[in-house]
Structure 1
Amino acid sequence: MERQLPKNVRQIGNVSDEPKIYVEDYVDTYINQLREKAKDEPVGFALAGQIFQVEETPVVYIEGAFRLQEVRVEAKEIGVREETVRQMEEDRKTYFPESDIVGWGLVEDAKPMGRIREAGRVHNRYFSKDHSVFIWKDSLDGEEMFYAFKYGELMQMGGHYIFYEKNPAMQNYMITTRKKIGVSPSEVVEDRAAKDFRSTVRERMEKRNDRLSSRMVYLTSTLLVVVVLVIGALAMNSYDKMAAVQSSLESLSRSVGGTGVGGEDIEETEDGAVVTAAARGQEADGSGGGDGSVDSGGDAAAAGADSGPEIPQGDDAGETGLTEDDYYVVQKGDTLDTISRKVYGNSSQAEAICKMNGLSDGNLIYIGQKLLLP
């Protein structure tokens, strides 16, 4: 099965050259840490990983780096002892048993132009595998250069990739190195790849939640606006009806409160019926009955709301002294002023008509309504 290249990568420089060089983020971090140690003297390191091909393109996959025990640098000469090379192989087996040596590097306070030929000599002797890598890094400003071994010499590369994935081997090596130099065991290197992945997921979830919250706020606001508009429309359409009902209820309330039709006092019996004082007197004398009573409270309310005061008929008219001439039936276009002018010749009785019928607003009358005339 052909090996797949990392997908979570960051490009450094121009990567059009071959081989394609991929450096794991822990390795890059470790090489940068060596800059502090290289301020006093140059520091060498070995590179562990694999060299393979993807669709006929050579790829150098660097997943480990560890310090070389002794690298001597004097003037333009670089010295690597055989013992150092043997120790390098032992360290590879200990820390990176699944990887091969794919190159080496040097961190120092100098420029590589005067070193590259000597570095090439060392590389050709100990790291001469095709496409193996040499990394030079300046300990002061962090400048770095990558070289690949091609056609028997080191050739400078235009760029490389930094990739992110789990790398427990490099992580363990960095922890072990820190322990050896007296760093507290609690200073554990966090799995950066996992951390980056979690951060990316968290950012995406936060953005998604923000979008959902914005949509919910928008929908809720829109719904509230619609509800307010509907309620407003219903209230406008029902205003006249509500006012008419309120007027009828106020008229009935005043009647039940003690003033009957024509100004007579009324009372309510134990069974809820409303009678005039005259009718109560007839009952006391034994001469009354149903003839002197008025509609019950519920019927009166209905009558007040539907057609105004009831015009007495037959015997009832005789007892109350009221006839149809004492009432006016509202016609289309009538107002209390026009009714007063029709009946009395002027509008002076408009307020009296309003009070006589218990109207809170003289404009709220309707066609067919029966108004008691003062």
Structure 2
Amino acid sequence: MERQLPKNVRQIGNVSDNPKIYVEDYVDTYLNQLREKAKEQPVGVILAGEVLELEDEKAVFVSGAVQMQELSEKDGKLEIGQDGMKHMMEEAAQYFPESHIVGWGIVEEGNPMSRNREVKKIQEREFGQEGSLFLWKNAREQDEIFYAYKFGELMQIGGHYIYYEKNPEMQNYMINTRKENGVTPSEVVEDRAAKNFRSAVREKIEYKEQHQSSAFAYITSAVLVLIVLVIGITTVNNFDKMKAVQNSLETLSETVGGGQADAKTRTETAETAKNNAKEASGTVKKAEGTTTSETSDGQLSDQDYYVVQKGETLAGISQKLYGDTSHVKAICKMNGLSDGNLIYIGQKLLLP
């Protein structure tokens, strides 16, 4: 199937530059996990993916990342031996057979300007094709910068997109190399499943609210116009009656406006309750095939989640399941909750 521009994306920075860069969410999460290891020494990665011409623009899709085990630092300068580079290229081809090498990157402390010469030297020697990428990522902060090799120079790209799709190749690489790379793929899979499910539910709720609100406004307007026409015809020759009609219409408009707000509130409440029920029943289905819980078929067991009961809080659930409240933060992290108080009856919480 021919690739198209993804619709479900998250924009990072200014994306007006060329080429357009799309980084798959699993790859982005994996690169962020390497930051902890990079606090001790620089960590290099090879970026795999494809380069396409879409909608008259050049687009680079980064769907895989392989850690450079042979990258070393000597006297403050980065070094990659020829044998090491050959081994990394073979590893990239093994895990991402349908992809091509589209660039490389470094996760480290400091700033990218300090390595201009050595980075350009490696870029020209190993990744010299026009449009190839270089990524610099800060080990301690959220800073990251993409560069594209154009006209013999590394030119900074103002921003990129994060896109979401099934990526079994990247998941497989993370699982098979978790010990040597120091990442935890199970947490990534669980976080991704929860994030995708919440995004789908939110989009569905917003669409229904917008659709129903528009329909209600249309019906209300039609009824109001009909009333005006009927009353207008019967009172066209009577000024006193027209005056009374004017007052009635003002009162009617206020009533309809208030009724629309009340109806919208009732609609939102009903839809929220309905979607909460769907969310509770659908969480396990969404996580199927992507979680790495230790069950025979890859699905969540009863011990992997907890169903929220009436009046419960995360602190109470932690006390109930673990005997203390110290697990609240872990439960929030596992379920992507920014506010521990925003839980609802019937919600299924993944357990650490």
Calculate the TM-score normalised by the size of structure 1: 0.52
Aligned residue number for residue 31 of structure 1: 31
Gaps of 5+ in 1: 219-374
Aligned residue number for residue 141 of structure 1: 141
CA distance in structure 2 between the partners assigned to 1:63 and 1:156 by the alignment = 21
SS, match of residue 169 in structure 1: helix
CA contact 1:78–1:118 (8 Å) conserved in 2: yes
Gaps of 5+ in 2: 213-262, 271-352
Using the TM superposition, give the Cα deviation of residue 154 of structure 1 relative to its aligned residue in structure 2, in angstroms.
Answer: 0.8
CA distance in structure 1 between the partners assigned to 2:269 and 2:61 by the alignment = 50
CA distance in structure 1 between the partners assigned to 2:22 and 2:170 by the alignment = 15
Task: Give deviations 1:101-160, integer Å, cap 9, x for gaps.
Answer: 110001111211120221011011001111110001111223111100001121111111
Aligned residue number for residue 266 of structure 2: 214
CA 1:191–1:47: 2 relative to 1, 3 Å: farther
Cα RMSD after superposing both structures: 3.0
Q: Aligned runs of 1:1-374 on 2, under 5 Å?
A: 3-75=3-75, 77-179=77-179, 187=186, 189-190=188-189, 195-204=194-203, 208=208, 214-215=266-267
Using the TM superposition, give the Cα deviation of residue 205 of structure 1 relative to its aligned residue in structure 2, in angstroms.
Answer: 5.4
CA distance in structure 2 between the partners assigned to 1:79 and 1:124 by the alignment = 14
CA contact 2:37–2:182 (8 Å) conserved in 1: no
SS, match of residue 129 in structure 1: coil
CA 1:57–1:98: 2 relative to 1, 3 Å: same
SS, match of residue 31 in structure 2: helix
CA contact 1:48–1:62 (8 Å) conserved in 2: yes
SS, match of residue 33 in structure 1: helix
Counterpart AA for 1:135: L
CA contact 2:30–2:183 (8 Å) conserved in 1: no
CA contact 2:51–2:59 (8 Å) conserved in 1: yes
CA distance in structure 1 between the partners assigned to 2:182 and 2:195 by the alignment = 28
Using the TM superposition, give the Cα deviation of residue 212 of structure 1 relative to its aligned residue in structure 2, in angstroms.
Answer: 8.6
Counterpart AA for 2:171: Q
Using the TM superposition, give the Cα deviation of residue 92 of structure 1 relative to its aligned residue in structure 2, in angstroms.
Answer: 1.2
CA distance in structure 2 between the partners assigned to 1:216 and 1:79 by the alignment = 59
CA 1:217–1:8: 2 relative to 1, 3 Å: closer
SS, match of residue 131 in structure 2: coil
Using the TM superposition, give the Cα deviation of residue 197 of structure 1 relative to its aligned residue in structure 2, in angstroms.
Answer: 3.9
Task: Give deviations 1:269-310, integer Å, cap 9, x for gaps.
Answer: xxxxxxxxxxxxxxxxxxxxxxxxxxxxxxxxxxxxxxxxxx
Aligned residue number for residue 234 of structure 1: none
SS, match of residue 64 in structure 1: strand
Counterpart AA for 1:113: M
CA contact 1:43–1:71 (8 Å) conserved in 2: yes
Q: How many residues align?
A: 217
CA distance in structure 1 between the partners assigned to 2:145 and 2:159 by the alignment = 8
CA distance in structure 2 between the partners assigned to 1:64 and 1:115 by the alignment = 24
CA 1:177–1:188: 2 relative to 1, 3 Å: farther
SS, match of residue 202 in structure 1: helix
SS, match of residue 189 in structure 2: coil
SS, match of residue 31 in structure 1: helix
CA 1:90–1:153: 2 relative to 1, 3 Å: same
Task: Give deviations 1:24-47, integer Å, cap 9, x for gaps.
Answer: 111111111111111111111100
CA 1:61–1:34: 2 relative to 1, 3 Å: same
CA 1:15–1:123: 2 relative to 1, 3 Å: same
Counterpart AA for 1:202: V
Using the TM superposition, give the Cα deviation of residue 99 of structure 1 relative to its aligned residue in structure 2, in angstroms.
Answer: 0.4
CA 1:135–1:215: 2 relative to 1, 3 Å: closer
Calculate the TM-score normalised by the size of structure 2: 0.55
CA contact 1:166–1:194 (8 Å) conserved in 2: no
SS, match of residue 190 in structure 1: helix
CA 1:141–1:200: 2 relative to 1, 3 Å: closer
